[in-house]
Amino acid sequence: MEAILGLIAAFGITIGLTFFGYETYQFLAPRYMAIDNKVFHESAQYNDGMLRDLENLEMEYKAAKSDEARQALKATAIHRFSIYPKERMTPELRSFYEGLYQ
């Protein structure tokens, strides 16, 4: 009888700990993801890559031969520039971005 009660208690404790672990993960996971995201966006690799990408878009826009190609690149550039903070852009990129709206 004691063995059965011991098994039931162990089973109950296992279920309780599993549920508590899941609830803890559900509570803490968004916070961990926010921290990971912040670290990623502040990394030098991300910033260098974004600046290089934005500079390439600027060069492609200026090298486009037709208005249709410029309009397509303009839409892409506006989207890409909008997700990157202006204070991290070079002055040349910032003036190009502002010139896209004119």
Q: What is the pTM of this model?
A: 0.66
Torsion sign over Cα 86, 91, 95, 97: negative
How is the chain split into domains, by residue range? 1-31, 44-100
Element (H, E) at 77: helix 67-82
The model's pLDDT over 11-48, given as tens digits with 9 standing for 90+, comes to 888 887 777 777 777 888 899 899 998 999 889 999 99
CA distances (Å), 98 to each of 45, 58, 85, 93, in order? Answer: 25, 12, 13, 9
57 touches 73 (CB < 8 A): yes
CB neighbours of 53 closer than 8 A, spacing ≥ 6? 80
The model's pLDDT over 56-91, given as tens digits with 9 standing for 90+, comes to 999 999 998 998 999 989 989 999 999 899 899 999
